[in-house]
Amino acid sequence: MEDAKLYARCTYMLQTTMFFLDVKMNFDDISREICFGFKFLKAGSFDLRYTLPGYPSCILESDRDVKLMFRSLVECKVSSVDILARDCGGSSTVTSGGTSLFDDGSLYLSTASKNDSIDENEYLGCFRPEAAKSYLSNEWHGYISYVGQKFEGGVLEFRDKLCKFAIESGFMFAYKRNCPSRVIAHCSKRHCDGCQWFVRALKNNVNGFFYIKELNNIHTCKGVLRQQKSQLLGSHIVKSVISDELKSNPGVKPKEIISRFKNSFGLDVSYKIAWYGRELARKSLHGDDGDSYSQLAWYQSAVLSTNPGSYCILESNPLTNRFERFFICFAGCIEGFKSCIPLLFVDAAHLKSKFKGYMLCATGKNGNQEFFPFAFAVVDSENDANWNWFFSHLYNILLPQGRTVTFVTDRHVGLLNAVAKHFPDSPHSYCYYHLRENVRGLYRKQSQSYFIDKIIDEFMKVAYAPTERSYYYNLANLEKEGGNRYGEMANSIAESFNSWTKELRELPIFEMLDGIRITCTAPI
């Protein structure tokens, strides 16, 4: 390889200068060439990195690094090298020996001599311009770097990184060829401005990886400038960015995604794109909501075989084989409830997955005044038939324990009928909060607010009466019904279970059920 054929492409702030290389050049020679190409740069104000096939960020800080770079060019059989110049930060100072200190404490070899003049920014003090904000998307600028670059994720990874590279670099591209085995793209201003930027990548049939075969990474068109809004920033880009976050935070909202892109990436995302991106990420992580229902038969069998003593019922339509209802009470919950107060708080909560539905739950309370998850079910709606079905299975579980269990509910019609039908001898108490709202509703259309508030205040005094004398008449009625609340006035325990499962209720049914199982059985 002749020395005259060697050349370098140095990029700084989306601009590129080119110069010839000579094996006799040292680090200061290369720095002078870069300063000659970028008149506004001064020696010592930047640090350098270069790329080689398989090594996207090689250190270039000394004469030794320069010699190794030339040696690597010969071994890789390439005649050019891409060099990236980056600001060191205006607050770094030159010390003896030619080393400088970054703000983060790391050292780099300065290109300035001891006699060089000090940067005028050092005299500006607190009035010097602030450094540009660093975004997480800065690394996207290196996603398309050199010929031979490898993409182990195949065409999907290549397309994803190509879009992110274009977003960060500030240009649009068009596909000339886009198929699973070959992608060719060029700058969208090729026909109007004659821009020669292009990339060609092919699939390797042996390992399935994608490799860049041709790349002209220089733009000659105008208007290559990174912007907050980009037509390339679609739902697939959002999906790739938030997938990891969605594993630990499945309840992330589109508004939170918009805020994260704004603050962490400096990019604007519409609500629609954020929402679709989240749905794509969910499907990628958890699978399709419809397919999740087909796994319930296996899940029922696995629970009963690996957790003996559990109570698990799956019902489907015998004609269509479509899912109808699912009930589960783990063996540990059945055994643990024997040591809990004989009190169950019953409530329902909306499911937030694609097919909606309801979760019916029965939650207990242990001796430490902590809520104890007992049994839950998934049904299509909160109606009489489903509540009767739910309590029939509760009866099968509780009957062998031989205890009289008190139920606390919100006076839903289906609950009133189901408790009376399956547990006629059990006390049935009502949540004070729901009773209070029922009283408020009786007078809402008949009286003014001050009268309603007075009625509610009197109702509270009766409900919380401290002695039998002050509550003699009402207590007599309660004892006549056989009520025993164990000091509980509200259905807040059931609400705690609903809050506890809030994020899980957004997942497909299989992942939701298994998530509850993991949470129930996790060691404290």
Which candidate, 228, 247, 273, places its Cα nearest to that of 137? 228
pLDDT greater at residue 482 or residue 340: 340
Residue range 257-284, pLDDT digits in tens: 999 999 889 999 999 999 999 989 888 8
| DSSP states along 203-215 | E-TTT--EEEEEE
pLDDT category of residue 304 using cuts at 50, 70 and 90: very high
Distance CA 480, CA 467 (A): 17
Residue 316: is its pLDDT beyond 70?
yes
Share of residues in the chain with pLDDT > 90 (%): 32
Please tell me the predicted confidence (pLDDT) of residue 321: 84
Question: Residue 36 class from Cβ within 10 Å (0-12 exposed, 13-18 middle, 19+ buried)?
Answer: exposed
Please tell me the predicted confidence (pLDDT) of residue 109: 33
Residue 341: is its pLDDT beyond 50?
yes
**DSSP-based three-state secondary structure for 524:** coil
Please tell me the predicted confidence (pLDDT) of residue 522: 59
Distance CA 168, CA 183 (A): 20
Amino acid at 321: N
Residue range 396-414, pLDDT digits in tens: 999 999 999 999 887 778 8
Distance CA 511, CA 380 (A): 18
Which residues does residue 185 pair with via DSSP β-bridges, in sequence order? 175, 199
Please tell me the predicted confidence (pLDDT) of residue 408: 86
Please tell me the predicted confidence (pLDDT) of residue 129: 47
> From the CB of residue 493, how many other CB atoms can be counted at a distance below 10 Å?
23
Residue range 348-366, pLDDT digits in tens: 888 877 788 899 999 888 8
Amino acid at 458: E
Q: Whole-prediction pTM value? A: 0.53
Please tell me the predicted confidence (pLDDT) of residue 119: 46
Query: In angstroms, how far apart are the furthest CA atoms of the chain?
Result: 108
φ/ψ of residue 188, rounded to 5:
-65, -15
CA-to-CA separations, 262 to 131, 134, 135, 211, 228, in angstroms, rounded? 18, 12, 10, 32, 8
Residue range 79-108, pLDDT digits in tens: 888 888 887 743 333 333 333 333 333 333
The most confident of 64-78, 252-266, 342-356, by mean pLDDT: 252-266
pLDDT category of residue 459 using cuts at 50, 70 and 90: low
Distance CA 351, CA 507 (A): 9
Which residues does residue 58 pair with via DSSP β-bridges, in sequence order? 50
Average of pLDDT values for 320-347?
91
Residue range 467-492, pLDDT digits in tens: 655 655 544 543 443 354 444 444 45
Please tell me the predicted confidence (pLDDT) of residue 100: 35
Distance CA 309, CA 76 (A): 65
Please tell me the predicted confidence (pLDDT) of residue 78: 83
Residue range 102-146, pLDDT digits in tens: 333 333 333 333 334 444 444 444 444 444 567 888 889 889 999
**DSSP-based three-state secondary structure for 252:** coil
